[in-house]
Chains A and B, each alone.
Chain A
């Protein structure tokens, strides 16, 4: 591998790469390093992540500006495949290669919103209002419809009139706490996107 790419050079000389067994040190980087974009990448922070689409789960390198110090907002400006990742080895498909546009999509939601019964529009609300309303609606419904015993008098402790669908791309940690909370309420109408 005499043609070392800019990415490989950055990967091994830059920050954030521990424990890789791809020992490429000793080669000099190619002329690509002189390009302007390289300069921007070289002072960027590199973070490892995983493509959120299909479950090949390609490894990603995300480059952001802003140094993670307090008060500085890190913004990601470039994403590419992680060359050290044993599955994708640096490749990304047309979906993964466009992830930067997902992060910065104009369709991203930025604040809580409320649509009243019969209305044809959203109104902006605060997190406090939003979560208080959801908690109140859930409690009302649970208290009104919770089934402690079934018709035969057996203890069943379930709540059937509110349900939840859980995300297909949220982390295990989010999924775990979602399950813990929802099941403690007695919900059975609970499903995920495994089937569709």
Chain B
């Protein structure tokens, strides 16, 4: 979230699209209700299902799964052609005025530079034009035909209301009504918030859907203001935190990217990440990259990281390509991965194409499970009848399963959607011999280190030299670790302007990332968390819920990254002179000497507005990018592409370009392409979702939840049920080209048939929560059905739009499916 949960109450308009907060994030949805009740807010829900968020909406519009860019692109078209944009904001706070290179082009669904053989782009033309002074060229009058705003106008002129109806199945009148409501927030005093979740991310064009939403918000001046923002409702309690901490193939902590093979030279590695300003006077905060990086290396390798060895640069693995989950399971299926550790994660259930996942896990030499619960993954080798039919004797994988504590049995922090790090406390003992993840990782490491000490082995240096200053080496405390990722001074730090002034004593905790240095005198394991445990103690444990301004800014409750700031880009809530656009809900303002207000300013505290520094201080431009330059895989502007399994088989926006049917830059492995189904065999569009009574694959182990939603079902519209002769409560078989599930049919008016380009398309809803372990009735893993293809940028699998066929099961014996 750019904003946070409580801030939703400040919205004048709420758009929920690509999510269903009322059911998936119920206690957060409360703030939508609050906005409606006390801020006269209106709620729009756009979703393939009339879900519970929709049931309390002022306007609901149906949409075909996977066509959100067609919808949002047409919203952009509406705003631009009707001049419903916040002009000052767009002119000064976005790159609307930047001039794009002449070579940049778009035709028939493809951008300039497409390399069809490798399914990627040469992006050299996707950039601004630069002047002799090295800065990007701009035209503040917005008249230049190649300025970003005019290119956008041109790009989205194809996205008409008529096209929305044809591609999305949304009636034009509904669409028009929604556009008018959204446009009402182009005034400086009205704000719309956008709330989305996996309904946007789990598409082969998911990142661009989100980007398209952000572009709408920028045109309206809704980013950086209270009641506005792009608000991702994260699906798991600490997925924000683990991503912030960089637990991904290609990142280190705090969004630092790992070096590539060709980056052998440390200086160059730093130089390309220390982004220089593209316009005069801009902050471009990533210029400080070397301070973040060196402080991380000092936290990890201590005295072994020196200027002489380029801060242990060679200790880091260099990356040749992305080893995301999909790539790794594909390699595993090919027998190229030997060992795997699954910590609190159930990939057999959570990753696409269960048959492929079972084959992959069966090819491992060893699998290590760390979990509080009996996951399907940990029992993938065991026969569970129709729900998981394998022959144990043929599976050679050695499995070691380790019992882990749960939340209630440990201290520590999680990061919520609004970026708050909140400390929690242990309240009970774990069952049996269960241990914490920390203890398991620590003891495993110490055993490995001992083996390397006594026996030697491949490149032992980073293992032998890893900094391990914990009082009990096999059981570091959460406090020790929190202090380490926050950061401390390694020597007395003196003020560079006055060497007699010691600003931090040696070993003192640092107050924030502004204190980090790149000479080895500071250590911070995660620069964006720096200051969470500051010189005054653990700020994440603070519990003062006072909200002095009444707009939900509880700055003394827990701690928020970065720098305890609650609304990102909040400088953009003020005009060029530093006066709040909306005097009713000011976040910050310029008082003549400095920035003050209800939030921590996202700006240098004493930067006079007259200096013309842009509000988006992390960007080289100083302003927000409507034009993504080379940052996205499939193009600088979001373009609609069909899901990899499309009910049309063509892209209505570029009818004659077969290479642009689905995302031209998405990676898909050969066997997975062959496993795609077509509309002739699988005529129905499926979309997966969560129920309010269940959480992922965990709560089927929880008695109360297993009672409230005991049995697997699928949701089908009344029209499709009629067509197939299915009554509510019948058992149905849902198949894709990768497998089938059987479940009870819930026949509903919540899903309506859509008319797409002259043909009727039915949607099938597939709740995900059942499996073959747990207390609920055994069911099929929903990912038996899903395709093994991901978003071109994030590799998030396409779970929200794929093709299936629904049939009534003739002989519905209730015993079938039970474990024998």
Q: A113 to B370, alpha carbons, bound, how many Å?
A: 11
Chain A neighbourhood of B693, CB < 8 A? 94-95
B 15-49 to A, binary, CB cutoff 8 A, 1 in contact else 0:
00000000011111010000000000000000000
User: Can you name the residue of chain A whose Cβ is closest to the Cβ of B468?
Assistant: A180
Indicate with 1 or 0, residue by residue over A167-185, a CB within 8 angstroms of chain B CB atoms: 1111111111111110111
In the assembled complex, the CB of A194 is this many whole angstroms from the nearest CB of chain B, namely 5
- Say if the beta carbon of A157 comes within 8 Å of chain B: yes
Query: Is B236's CB under 8 angstroms from A169's CB?
Result: yes
Cross-chain contact B340 with A115 (CB below 8 angstroms): no
Query: Is B110 among interface residues, defined by CB-CB distance under 8 A?
Result: no
Which residue of the partner chain, among A57, A103, A160, A191, contacts B414 with CB atoms under 8 Å? A57
Interface residue stretch chosen among A1-9, A15-23, A25-33, A35-43? A15-23
The distance in angstroms between the C-alpha atoms of A35 and B357, with both chains bound, is 53
Q: List chain A residues, Cβ under 8 A from B397.
A: 117
- Contact, CB under 8 Å: B339 / A137: yes
Residues 383-404 of B at the A interface (beta carbon under 8 Å): 383, 392-404
> Are A141 and B545 touching (Cβ within 8 A)?
no
Taking CB atoms and an 8 Å cut-off, the chain B residues in 416-445 that contact chain A are 416-418, 420-422, 424-429, 431-438, 440-445
Known: A116-B398, A156-B317. A53 touches B704 (CB 8 A): no
- Closest CB-CB distance, A136 to chain B, in whole Å? 7
Q: Is the CB of B476 within 8 A of A177?
A: yes
Q: Is B191 an interface residue (CB 8 A)?
A: no
Would B261 and A105 count as touching, CB distance under 8 A?
no
B543 touches A55 (CB 8 A): no
Complex interface: stretch among B323-331, B511-519, B604-612? B323-331
Interface assignment of B699: CB less than 8 Å from any CB of chain A = yes
A154 to B396, CA, bound (A): 36
Q: In the complex, how many residue pairs between chain A and chain B have their CB atoms under 8 Å apart?
A: 500
B537-554 CB mask vs A (1 if < 8 Å, else 0) is 000001111110000101
Report the separation of the CA atoms of residues A94 and B455 in the bound assembly, to the nearest whole angstrom.
Answer: 53
With beta carbons under 8 angstroms apart, the residue of B300, B451, B705, B795 that contacts A95 is B705
Once A98-B702, A107-B774, A170-B238 are accepted as A-B contacts, the answer to whether A132 and B447 lie under 8 Å apart by CB is yes
Are B433 and A177 within 8 A (Cβ)?
Answer: no
Given known contacts A54-B235, A101-B704, is B402 in contact with A148 (CB within 8 Å)?
no
In the complex, A93→B26 CA distance in Å? 6
Query: In the complex, which of the residues B344, B366, B394, B466 contacts A137, with contact meaning CB atoms closer than 8 Å?
Result: B366
A101-B703, A107-B373, A191-B328 known; A139 and B318 CB under 8 Å?
Answer: no
User: Quick check: A167 and B344 within 8 Å, CB to CB?
Assistant: yes
Closest-by-CB residue of A relative to B552 is: A86
Contact B350–A193 (Cβ < 8 Å): yes
Q: Residue B381 contacts which of A49, A73, A115, A169 (CB distance < 8 angstroms)? A: A115
Are A118 and B703 touching (Cβ within 8 A)? no
Contacts of A138 in B (CB 8 A): 339, 444, 448
Q: If the complex has contacts A49-B407, A57-B417, A184-B462, are A112 and B401 also in contact, measured as CB distance less than 8 A?
A: yes
A155 at interface by CB-CB < 8 Å: yes
**B336 within 8 A of partner (CB):** yes
Query: How far does the alpha carbon of A192 sit from the alpha carbon of B248 in the complex, in Å?
Result: 6
Say if the beta carbon of A69 comes within 8 Å of chain B.
no
Q: A150-B261, A181-B445, A190-B249 are in contact. List 9 more A-B contacts (CB 8 A).
A: A47-B427, A53-B236, A108-B406, A108-B431, A111-B433, A115-B381, A159-B317, A184-B300, A184-B445
Residues of A within 8 A of B (CB): 18-22, 45, 47-60, 62-64, 66, 73-76, 79, 81, 84-89, 91-99, 101-103, 105-120, 122, 125, 127, 130-139, 141-143, 145-146, 148, 150, 152, 154-181, 183-196
Pairs of residues from A and B, 8 with the lowest C-beta to C-beta distance, nearest first = A167-B344, A110-B432, A171-B412, A47-B427, A109-B403, A168-B236, A57-B416, A146-B458
